Amino acid sequence: MPNVAYFTHQDADIAAEITRHAPASYRVTTHAMSLSDDEKSPIVAEVDYLILFPGRITEPLLRAGKSLRLIQLVSAGYEHMPLPLCRELGIPVANNGGTNSTDVAEHTVALILAQYRRMVELDRKMRADPTLDVPVARSTYTVDGKTVGIIGLGNIGTKVARLARAFGANVIYADEAPADLARDADLGIRRVDLPDLLAASDVVTLHVPLAPSTDGLIGAAALERMKSSAILVNTCRGRVVDEAALIEALRAGGIAGAALDVLEREPPSTDNPLLRMNNVTLTPHTAGITFDTWARRGQFIFENIARVERGETPLAVVSGA
The predicted-structure confidence for 140-185, as pLDDT tens digits, reads as follows 999 999 999 999 999 999 999 999 999 999 999 999 999 999 999 9
Q: What is the pLDDT of residues 212-265, one digit of tens each?
A: 999 999 999 999 999 999 999 999 999 999 999 999 999 999 999 999 999 999
Number of folded domains in the chain? 2
Q: List beta partners, residue 286.
A: none
Peptide bond into 135 cis (omega under 30): no
Active site residue 237: yes
Distance CA(267)–CA(252), nearest Å, equals 25
Distance CA(290)–CA(100), nearest Å, equals 9
Q: Which domain holds residue 115?
A: 101-282
Regarding whether 236 and 106 lie in a shared domain, the answer is yes
Beta strands in 177-278 (DSSP E): 189-191, 203-206, 231-234, 257-260
Q: What is the pLDDT of residues 1-37, one digit of tens each?
A: 899 999 999 999 999 999 999 999 999 999 999 999 9
Residue 321 confidence (pLDDT): 45
Active site residue 176: no
Distance CA(240)–CA(212), nearest Å, equals 10
What are φ and ψ of residue 55, in 5° steps? -80, 80
Regarding whether 146 and 72 lie in a shared domain, the answer is no
Regarding whether 173 and 94 lie in a shared domain, the answer is no
Regarding whether 150 and 49 lie in a shared domain, the answer is no
**Residue 60 lies inside a defined structural domain of this protein:** yes
**Residue 316 lies inside a defined structural domain of this protein:** no
Active site residue: 39, 176, 266, 312, which one? 266
Is the pLDDT reported for residue 319 higher than 90? no
Active site residue 266: yes
CATH label of the domain that carries residue 39: 3.40.50.720
Contacts of 123 (CB under 8 A, 6+ apart): none
Residue 112 confidence (pLDDT): 98
Regarding whether 121 and 50 lie in a shared domain, the answer is no
Regarding whether 185 and 89 lie in a shared domain, the answer is no
How much is the mean pLDDT over the chain? 96
Regarding whether 141 and 237 lie in a shared domain, the answer is yes
Regarding whether 111 and 94 lie in a shared domain, the answer is no
Which strands form 257-260's sheet, in the order they lie side by side?
189-191, 170-174, 147-151, 203-206, 231-234, 257-260, 280-282
Amino acid symbol at 27? R
Task: Specify whether the CB–CB gap between 169 and 200 falls below 8 A.
Answer: no
pTM for the model stands at 0.92
**CA dist list (Å): 71 to 48, 80, 126, 320:** 9, 13, 48, 14
**Residue 319 lies inside a defined structural domain of this protein:** no
166, with CB counted inside 10 A (0-12, 13-18, 19+), is exposed
**CA dist list (Å): 220 to 20, 195, 234, 242, 282:** 47, 13, 16, 8, 21
Regarding whether 240 and 153 lie in a shared domain, the answer is yes
**Residue 268 lies inside a defined structural domain of this protein:** yes
Max CA-CA distance within the chain? 67
**Residue 315 lies inside a defined structural domain of this protein:** no
**Residue 18 lies inside a defined structural domain of this protein:** yes
Regarding whether 169 and 117 lie in a shared domain, the answer is yes
Regarding whether 157 and 137 lie in a shared domain, the answer is yes
Active site residue: 56, 117, 239, 285, which one? 285
Residue 320 confidence (pLDDT): 55
**Residue 314 lies inside a defined structural domain of this protein:** no
**Residue 77 lies inside a defined structural domain of this protein:** yes
Active site residue: 237, 264, 296, 297, which one? 237
Regarding whether 185 and 78 lie in a shared domain, the answer is no
Residue 226 confidence (pLDDT): 98
Task: Specify whether the CB–CB gap between 286 and 260 falls below 8 A.
Answer: no
